Amino acid sequence: MKRYFILVISVLLLASCGDKQPQGTTTEKPMKTVVVPSFNADSAYQFVAKQTSFGPRVPETQAHADCAEWLAAKLNEYTDTVIVQDFRARLFNGKGIDGQNIVGVFHPEAKKRVVLCAHWDSRPYADHDPDEANIHTPIDGANDGASGVGVLLECARQFKLQTLPEHLGVDIVFFDLEDYGPHQQESEKYYDDKVNYWALGSQYWSKTPHVYGYKAYYGILLDMVGGSNPNFPKEYYSQGYAAWVSNKVWRTAYDLGYRPYFSNELGTMISDDHIPMNQIAGLPTIDIIDLHPESSNECFPEVWHTLNDNIEHIDKSTLGMVGDVLLHVVYEE
């Protein structure tokens, strides 16, 4: 789907002694057309499937290393610059662990910048699986992680095919170590309201961005954007930190006909990668995340943190809807 916007500016010329045009004559600048490319949901789905094909992307495993290499190479096909941030973090249990944030940069010279992000690691244990035998088994994380990355890879491919507006720079950031928080059975043992044991990659990036002194206009985080019949309310913290960004995105979704899925309701408080981006980096960032208050799996989709979070439960139409919204938001900026 493409949308065209025509801008016509008329200027009233004031009369003066040297004017050769009669008073009241108007001139028109050339028409400016903004063309938004069509998001390819099939391509996004293949990007999700490729990630899951490596196996669970648990940090410090071969699957994780192989996927990191593929993500960096894929971004390198589309972006102007790729930066891999190697970092070391400390887990909830005190263990040190290595992670990688992967950043693709478009128009590095542009002053006005937008950040699009998602986490690419997957949960090391299916601690919400209905079968207790599975609760220490790593998950594929097709929806929880890979779906957002798949959408952003397809956005990157479209940015390459149809150049972004010259004034705008986009940074696509894939955060690592978002999902290595305490096992559900140990959550109370490690609870500390002053320490965030999740979102370790975004905490690192927020303190040490890929460019020194980095500033951006706003950020959009994607998390769990591939399930069927999604419900994307305005996540609570997103509204608190960056309501104007939420409103911009949701208005675009409404204009595109996605109002049944992008609800105007205030969603649950979600601790996600956007929290350190707002609190540490001071970057107004929202979280587009599928939330279901009626779910038996807290407020998340039923497959969340279970072995059922696999490619079989990814819906192309949801990927396409979210991608379509993002492309319009970016190209109309």
Residue 29 in domain: no
Write down the pTM of the prediction: 0.90
pLDDT averaged per 10 residues, the chain (length 333): 32 33 46 85 98 98 98 98 98 96 98 98 98 98 98 98 96 98 89 87 98 97 98 98 98 97 96 98 98 94 98 98 98 97
Residue whose structure tokens are 């128009």: 107
Q: In this structure, is residue 13 part of a structural domain?
A: no
Q: What's the pLDDT at 30?
A: 52
Identify whether 5 is part of a domain: no
Q: Compute the distance between CA of residue 128 and CA of residue 179 in angstroms, rounded to an integer.
A: 13
Instruction: Supply the pLDDT for residue 32.
Output: 59
Q: 4 φ, ψ to 5°?
A: -120, 135
Instruction: Supply the range of the domain harboring residue 202.
Output: 38-331
What pLDDT, on a 0 to 100 scale, did the predictor assign at position 31?
52
33 in a structural domain = no
Quote the pLDDT of residue 25: 43
Closest CA to 48 of 95, 115, 97, 118: 118
- 39, 69 contact by CB (below 8 A): no
Number of H helices, E strands in the chain: 7, 10
> How many domains does the chain fold into?
1
Secondary structure (3-state) at 175: strand
Task: Determine, yes or no, domain membership for 327.
Answer: yes
Strand, helix or coil for residue 165: coil
Which pLDDT score, from 0 to 100, does residue 7 have?
A: 32
Q: For residue 248, is it within any domain?
A: yes
CA distance 75 to 113: 18
Q: What pLDDT does 4 receive?
A: 31
Nearest to 127 by CA among 8, 266, 282, 298: 298
Residue 148 lies in a domain: yes
In a domain, 17, yes or no: no
DSSP 6-46: EE--EEEPPP-TT--SPTT-EEEPPPEEEEPPPP-HHHHHH
CATH code, 255: 3.40.630.10
